[in-house]
Amino acid sequence: MNALSAAERRMEYFHNGGYYALDGEDYDGLMAGYAHGDTPFLPYAEFVKLDAAPLAEAELRAQAWALLAERLADRPKACPISAFQAQLPAAAERVAGREPAFFHLYAFNSLRQLGADFELLADHLVWLDPGMDDLAGHARAIAQSAKAAQFKLARACAKKKFEGLETSLDTAVAAYDALMAGLQAQA
């Protein structure tokens, strides 16, 4: 959320790469549950404090590269997507045993976040260096694989048939390995 006015019934917010606003009936619909003390969804926000003057573009990119190198050094030794995929069939069985709304909570906090994070990484890599389209392509492949796996998960939970989930992220695993190798070579 970037701006909120209850008096004007308006909210402005960032979502992925865009900036959006809602007002009037859309605002009322979003906030309806809160008026009665309910929390129909759990909003989250990230805060950015701009205490200093903006950096020049070249310096900003240099600092972004340095931060990326730090994060690469801190990454897990083994592919985390592979570890998630290994437990996905058992997790799907547990999700399927819960109320249907739980699926959305699980999917949002796992596969949707995985896809969104790597889609943002793809955009970031192209911003850092337009010549990194191939590495951005690996990040986008992870995002697409996560989206496809979410649909497979939904079908598996609905039908209570979990076979095939153990390979549902194979494309993402391969793309992750290629992406990390490429980023390591760049860093």
The whole-model pTM stands at 0.76
Which residues, listed in sequence order, are joined to residue 5 by a DSSP beta bridge? 10
Confidence tier at 17 by pLDDT (50, 70, 90):
confident
The pLDDT of residue 50 is above 80: no
Residues 6+ apart with CB under 8 A from 13: 1, 2, 19, 20, 21
Spatial neighbors of 174 by CB under 8 A, at least 6 apart, are none
- Each residue's pLDDT tens digit, 83-113: 999 999 999 999 999 998 899 999 999 999 9
Kindly state the average pLDDT of the residues 159-163: 95
Sheet with 3-5, side-by-side order of all strands:
3-5, 10-15, 18-23
State pLDDT tens for residues 120-156.
999 999 999 999 999 999 999 999 999 999 999 999 9
Instruction: Using CB atoms within 10 Å of the CB of residue 138, give its burial: 0 to 12 exposed, 13 to 18 middle, 19+ buried.
Output: buried
3-state secondary structure of 164: coil
Do 114 and 146 contact (CB within 8 A), yes or no?
A: yes
Domain boundary assignment for the chain? 1-48, 57-186
Q: Is the pLDDT of residue 178 over 80?
A: yes
Which residue(s) pair with 20 in the sheet?
13
Tokens of 67: 């931060």
